[in-house]
Structures are given as structure tokens and as C-alpha cells.
Amino acid sequence: MLVLGIETSCDETGVALYHGERGLLAHVLHSQVQLHAEYGGVVPELASRDHVRRVLPLLEQCLSQAGVTRADIDGVAYTAGPGLIGALLVGASVGRSLAFAWGVPAVGVHHMEGHLLAPMLEAEPPEFPFAALLVSGGHTQLVRVDGVGRYTLLGESLDDAAGEAFDKTAKLLGLGYPGGPALAQLAQQGDPQRFAFPRPMTDRPGLDFSFSGLKTYALTTLQQHGLEASADIARAFEDAVVDTLAIKCRRVLKQTGLKRLVMAGGVSANRRLRSKLAEIAAEEGARVYYPRPEFCTDNGAMIAYAGYVRLHAGQHEPLAIRAQPRWPMETLPAPR
């Protein structure tokens, strides 16, 4: 079974082809970073319009890279939410319409389920059950995963998501959008001893997070020491986020007794976070799994894969275009 995946929930247009036996055949991506950079963040209307421009040319490119034609496609998966409504509508309309025209089933994929299953595209995928840390621009969640569609939310951010905190702090430090990678790069030159930032909500039980205070902490430190201190602030901030996430991941492994920890979403591309989680997992006798860096951030491959799993299990949409800006992942059905 060959599935076309389309991702347009935010600021990347991603298209991919996943085959049940042959694996990922091709994936292409267009990032809108240049488009939004001058505004310091994603402008939703510009994002939607750019998806319209890119999606079909990317599809042509993906087909030729994979060496297949549209007649080979057995199903279409598109991101149906959560995300920016205008952006989602582009992928949803295109995906649903193509499936209708080609006479194949379509399925609306949950963007965070896409992230969650992205490690399945790697050479040694995790087996169920596992604990997952989902860290993106919009979500920070700890989830117990007993199978596809069998998700128990164990903890989440009560305010800013980890990626959002990276982006906002990067902005304070005068770094461009998207801020996460830029802040991580600046932090490499920072002195880890100079400032000690708090590890929010780690002194009490539970698995929830709060990151908005760290941004304020960064601002206050910046006001006291000036931009000269920005690399040291970046380092202190990154260490605080990484440590806080690691403390809660260790807690999840201890509480659940699970021996597999998956990390996914844009922030899981962060090198310090990857090595820190590998370290704590090893100490807990567990193993950590993450996608290759290009599949941590938004991409079409994860949508094609998640869509394949659900289409293969017989799940598909009626003749309606589905786009849901808000969509709790725990409400997803488990395929038969």
C-alpha cells in the first residue's frame, strides 16, 4: 500500500510517499522561514497562501523522486489538525480532493500523532508500550503510548510550550525567527556557570510543566547585564529547559516502569536535550528513541507514515474536508 502524506499545519509544506513494504520512498519539504523572518514570527495568512503555491509542485517533485506515478497511490493522508486553520485547510482540501479524484481513501492525521510516530521511520523503531516526550512549538506533553491511538496524557505544559519558550526567549535576545535553533547555537558559546536559572515545577510531584517564567527570568537577567551577556543567558536558559524536561522524563520512567522513552517534535532536534535524555534513560536502564533531526521538525514523512498505519487498518474519512485547529490527541481512536 502506497500512501501520499501532506503536511501544511504551520510554516512548512511537506509531501512524502510511504510504502507499506518498501518504507519511505521520497519526501520533500519547503520551509517558509524566509517568508516570515521579517515579521519575527509566522503570519498565518502568508503561510496559507504559500502552501497553496507550493503543494502541487512539491507533489510532482515527490512523485518523480520516488519514481512512481499518481496511479500507484492507494491512499492520501493530510494533517487535519491541530494547527493554523487557513494553513490546515490547504492540505486538507488538496488531499481530500486528490483522493476523491483518484478514487482512493483519505485520512485526516493528527499532527502530534505524526510527530509521535516519526521514530518509527528509523532503522530501529521502538516497540510499544513506551513513554513519549512531545516537544514542539505548540505542545509539551508526556504521554504513555500503549499502541497507535492508545494514548494517556500524563503531563503537559500549563503555559508556554518548550518550543514557544525557546522562540520567545530568542526574540528577547535579538535572535531571528525561528528562535530555537538560533538560541541553541548561541548557547554553545555561553558560560554554563555564570547564571543559574530555576527548574520550574520540579520541586513538587507531578508531570506538568511551566516554561513562561523562564522567559521572564531571561528578560530580567538581560535587563541587569545587557546584551553582552546574551550567550551566557542563552546557555542558562537552554540548560534550564533541558534539565526540567529530563527531570520529568526520569520521573515518568520511574513511575510507569517503562523501559523505552521516545522524544519527538521540533525541540527534540536540540542536541543538548538529545544527549541529556540518552544519559538519564541509561541511568534508568531504559533506551531512548528519536527521529533523525529533519524528522523532528515538521515534515510530510511523519504524516504519510501515520496515515499509512490508519488507512492500512481500514480507517478513512467520508467525503468532507476535515480541519480542526484544536484536537486533543487522547480522543483519537485505536485502529482495529
Q: How far is the CB of 226 from ligand KG4 (least distance, A)?
A: 24
What is the rounded end-to-end Cα distance, in angstroms, of the chain? 18
Query: Is 278 in a helix, a strand, or coil?
Result: helix
Contact region for ligand KG4 (CB under 6 A) — 38-46, 52-60, 172-180, 312-320? 172-180
Beta bridge partner(s), residue 17: 4, 26
- Is 298 one of the binding residues for Zn ion (CB under 5 A)? yes
Measured from the CB atom, the residue of 232 and 238 that comes closer to ligand KG4 is 238
Contact region for ligand KG4 (CB under 6 A) — 93-101, 146-154, 265-273, 304-312? 265-273
Q: How far is the CB of 110 from ligand KG4 (least distance, A)?
A: 11
Angle at 287 between CA 284 and CA 290, to 5 degrees: 130
- Cell numbers that stand for 59 in this block: 507533489
Taking CB under 6 A as the criterion, the residue among 5, 91, 155, 181 binding ligand KG4 is 181
- Is 190 one of the binding residues for ligand KG4 (CB under 6 A)? no
DSSP per position, 70-110: GGG--EEEEEEESS-HHHHHHHHHHHHHHHHHHT--EEEEE
Q: Report CA-CA distances (Å) from 296 to 60, 270, 312.
A: 24, 9, 24
Residue whose beta carbon is closest to ligand KG4: 266
- Is 239 one of the binding residues for ligand KG4 (CB under 6 A)? no
Measured from the CB atom, the residue of 184 and 214 that comes closer to ligand KG4 is 184
- Is 317 one of the binding residues for ligand KG4 (CB under 6 A)? no
Query: By the criterion CB under 5 A, which residues form the site for Zn ion?
Result: 136, 298
